[in-house]
Structure 1
Amino acid sequence: MNKEEQLNAIKEDFINCQKVLLAIGDETRQAILLVLMGTDCQTGLRVGEITEQTHLSRPAVSHHLKILREAGVILMRKEGTKNFYYINVRSELGSLKTLVQHIEEFMQKNY
């Protein structure tokens, strides 16, 4: 792959990662992700539990959870009327790894 092809691949990677980068780039969402990472992956947490641990309002937590869900970073499991949120281990976060690998390969090859 020549330099131009590599740059085009990296450009595509950036496009593919855009939603995830925007979702995880926010400090509040990072705090929510850290709380979720501290729990059992299968069990997850309810909005109220996340609210307690982050000291954010319920509407704020719900808003940020929606953004994280739309980006594919977290998932929600329904149990009756209760919703549990947890990290999506097969998420779009893998696309970030590909982006970083392509950038590293480009830098090693061209500099």
Structure 2
Amino acid sequence: MNKQDQLNIIKEDFIKCQKVLLAIGDETRQSILLVLMGTDCQTGLRVGEITEQTHLSRPAVSHHLKVLREAGVILMRKEGTKNFYYINVCTELDLLKTLVLNIDHFMQKFY
């Protein structure tokens, strides 16, 4: 594969990753993700629990959770009237791994 072909693949990878990159690029969402990573992936946390640990308002946490959900980074599980949020381990985050690996391969091959 030549240099231009590899660059085109990386360009496509960036396009596929745009939503995830925008979602995880925000410091507030990063803090929410860190809180969620510190819990059992299957159990998850409710908005109130995330609010307590991040010291953000409930509306702010809800907004950022919505962005993360729309990007496919987190999932929500319902139990009656309760919603539990957790990291989606088999998701769009894999696209980031592919992007980084393709960039690494490109850099090793062409530089």
Q: Specify the alignment match of 1:76 in structure 2.
A: 76
Q: Specify the alignment match of 1:94 in structure 2.
A: 94
Task: Verify: 1:18 aligned to 2:18, yes or no.
Answer: yes
Give distance in 2, aligned partners of 1:107 and 1:31. Answer: 31
Q: Mark the runs of 5 or more structure 2 residues left unpaired by the alignment.
A: none
TM-score (normalised: structure 2): 0.99
Give distance in 1, aligned partners of 2:50 and 2:101. Answer: 33
Stretches of 4+ moved more than 2 A in 1? none
1:35 partner amino acid: V
Aligned residues: 111
Q: Specify the alignment match of 1:106 in structure 2.
A: 106
1:91 deviates by: 1.4
Alignment of 1:15-54 (within 5 A): 15-54=15-54
Deviation digits for residues 8-55 of structure 1, max 9, x if unmatched? 000000000000000000000000000000000000000000000000
Percent of paired sites with the same residue:
86
Give distance in 2, aligned partners of 1:41 and 1:107. Answer: 34
1:76 partner amino acid: M
Give distance in 1, aligned partners of 2:38 and 2:105. Answer: 33
TM-score (normalised: structure 1): 0.99
User: What secondary structure sits across from 1:97 in the alignment?
Assistant: helix
Give distance in 2, aligned partners of 1:29 and 1:96. Answer: 17
1:56 deviates by: 0.2
Q: CA RMSD in A?
A: 0.4
Q: Mark the runs of 5 or more structure 1 residues left unpaired by the alignment.
A: none
1:89 partner amino acid: V
